[in-house]
Amino acid sequence: MLYHYVASDAAGKLYESDIDAQNLDGVLKNLSTKGLRPINIQSLKDASGIIIFKGSINLTDKIFLTKYLSLMLKVGTDLLSAINILIADFEKPVMRSLLIEVRENLMRGQAFNQVFSRYPKYFSPVFVNMVKAAEASGNLQQTFEDLSISLQRDGELQSRVRGALIYPIIILVASVSVFVFLSTFAIPKISAVFREGGIKVPGFSKIVFAVGDFINTNIISLGIGVFIFALAFWIFFFKTQVGRQIMDNFLSNLPVVRNLYRDIAIQRFASTFSSLMKAGLPIIQATHITADVVVNKRFRDSLYRIADEGLAKGITIGDAFRREPVFPRVVTNLIAISEKAGHLEELLDTLADFYTSRIDSSVKILISVLEPVLLLGMGGMVGLIAVSIIVPIYQLTSTF
């Protein structure tokens, strides 16, 4: 069992760490041998016996875990010994907690995948079912290798997309910051000068000054309102079924984004379906799990139909996919041909790589369109404010 302790030595120096012991007495004896006096000792298990994670498990942790388990199993290390080696190597408490729980499960003769299934926040149904199928077939080494490759490919795609979005986000943040600064500090002072001097300003200048004065007066209320709106927007469109459906329809029909949205769905389908088939999952179960992973509702519904109305009734994979118009014709034809040739898994890997490249190119094109729009928007906003200030000043000087 894993415990977290805070203790002090004779000089009063504090120490805090995790320790693996059979019970509380074991922790006390261990601290005593180190000359430490316990201040606080807490079990890292909840009432159900599940270890409480302190921190979070990220993509890098999962890639490291699967890659090194694969390597150790490949050189002949048994699973329990491999887990013990990783426990000693991992410094991150959350990963050590997970691996200790895995070791306890193995020592009690329980399935390896049960631990991962307890934490759906960190381990997807694809991950859990691949491990489960690998345990049943005795092919854990190859499955962990496939998982590490799949996770790494997803991580690289996410990194490229995030990297491409950094510059537009910087422009957007800068635009909002400039607008808030001008509206809060600059415009109210300038409008006060004109107002106190009794100077008449053009109509559009009055509008700009009025907006600036309103924002300056209600900046706190507006800030709270924007925060509440953003939170409500996130909860409705990303956490509710109706909101996700609306967002899905919007992205599927947005001219600039819809092709990218479709390519992401196909890439996720090909990558996930290939991994599940390699792990040995039944084809219908693999299709269902893949459908749950694909975010695009049209593709998700299509995959459910392929599984329940096609494959379950004995229709071949190629024919089942050909009945779904949401998939591009070239994809369904390649699936049908590769099924007959017995190379479906290899084709799906190739499709995943191909659509990863397409997504990368599409994101770059989208950013190349978005950047000038944001720059023009920022320039137009600053220009409008500048003109609203300069024109009254020009009118004033021209009267002398």
Neighbours of 217 (CB within 10 A): 12
Please give the pLDDT value at position 398.
Answer: 63
Q: Has residue 373 got a pLDDT over 90?
A: no
Strand partners, 8: 14, 37
Which tops the pLDDT comparison, 197 or 189?
Answer: 189
C-beta separation of 117 from 99 below 8 A: no
State the average pLDDT over residues 320-345: 90
Please give the pLDDT value at position 53.
Answer: 62
Q: Has residue 333 got a pLDDT over 70?
A: yes
User: To which residue do tokens 């795609």 refer?
Assistant: 157
Neighbours of 267 (CB within 10 A): 23
Q: And the tokens for 60?
A: 């890098």
Q: Which domains does the chain have, with CATH numbers?
A: 2-43 (3.10.20), 59-151 (1.20.81.30), 179-400 (1.20.81.30)
State the average pLDDT over residues 251-256: 82
Question: Hey, is 267 helix, strand or coil?
Answer: helix
Q: Has residue 277 got a pLDDT over 80?
A: yes
Q: Has residue 389 got a pLDDT over 90?
A: no
Q: What is d(CA 375, CA 362) in angstroms, rounded to the nearest whole number?
A: 20
Q: And the tokens for 103?
A: 């070791």
Q: Has residue 279 got a pLDDT over 90?
A: no
Strand partners, 37: 8
Q: What is d(CA 310, CA 385) in angstroms, rounded to the nearest whole number?
A: 61
Least confident of 118-127, 203-212, 242-251: 203-212
Question: What is the pTM assigned to this prediction?
Answer: 0.73
Q: Has residue 47 got a pLDDT over 50?
A: no
Q: What is d(CA 117, CA 101) in angstroms, rounded to the nearest whole number?
A: 12
The per-residue pLDDT for range 205-230, each reduced to its tens digit, is 888 888 888 888 888 898 899 899 99
State the average pLDDT over residues 80-103: 83
pLDDT band at residue 299 under the 50/70/90 scheme: very high
C-beta separation of 291 from 304 below 8 A: yes
Measured in residues, the chain has a length of 400
Give the amino acid at 224: I
Give the amino acid at 272: T
Question: Hey, is 5 helix, strand or coil?
Answer: strand
Please give the pLDDT value at position 49.
Answer: 56
Q: What is d(CA 111, CA 282) in angstroms, rounded to the nearest whole number?
A: 19
The per-residue pLDDT for range 153-195, each reduced to its tens digit, is 888 888 877 877 788 888 888 888 888 888 777 788 878 877 7
pLDDT band at residue 54 under the 50/70/90 scheme: low
Angle at 64 between CA 60 and CA 66, to 5 degrees: 115
Q: Has residue 264 got a pLDDT over 60?
A: yes
Q: Has residue 51 got a pLDDT over 50?
A: yes
Type and span of the H or E element at 40: strand 37-43
Which tops the pLDDT comparison, 11 or 246?
Answer: 246
Q: Has residue 298 got a pLDDT over 50?
A: yes
Question: Hey, is 6 helix, strand or coil?
Answer: strand
Please give the pLDDT value at position 46.
Answer: 52
User: To which residue do tokens 């150790």 refer?
Assistant: 72
pLDDT band at residue 45 under the 50/70/90 scheme: low
Q: What is d(CA 276, CA 345) in angstroms, rounded to the nearest whole number?
A: 9
Please give the pLDDT value at position 269.
Answer: 92
**Cα-to-chain-centroid distance, residue 174:** 25
Please give the pLDDT value at position 138.
Answer: 80
What DSSP letter does each residue of 204-218 carry, written as one string?
HHHHHHHHHHHHHHT
Q: What is d(CA 173, CA 122) in angstroms, rounded to the nearest whole number?
A: 30
pLDDT band at residue 332 under the 50/70/90 scheme: very high
State the average pLDDT over residues 22-27: 75
Phi, psi of 23 (to 5 degrees): -155, -175
Percent of the chain topping pLDDT 70? 94
User: To which residue do tokens 């950013």 refer?
Assistant: 367
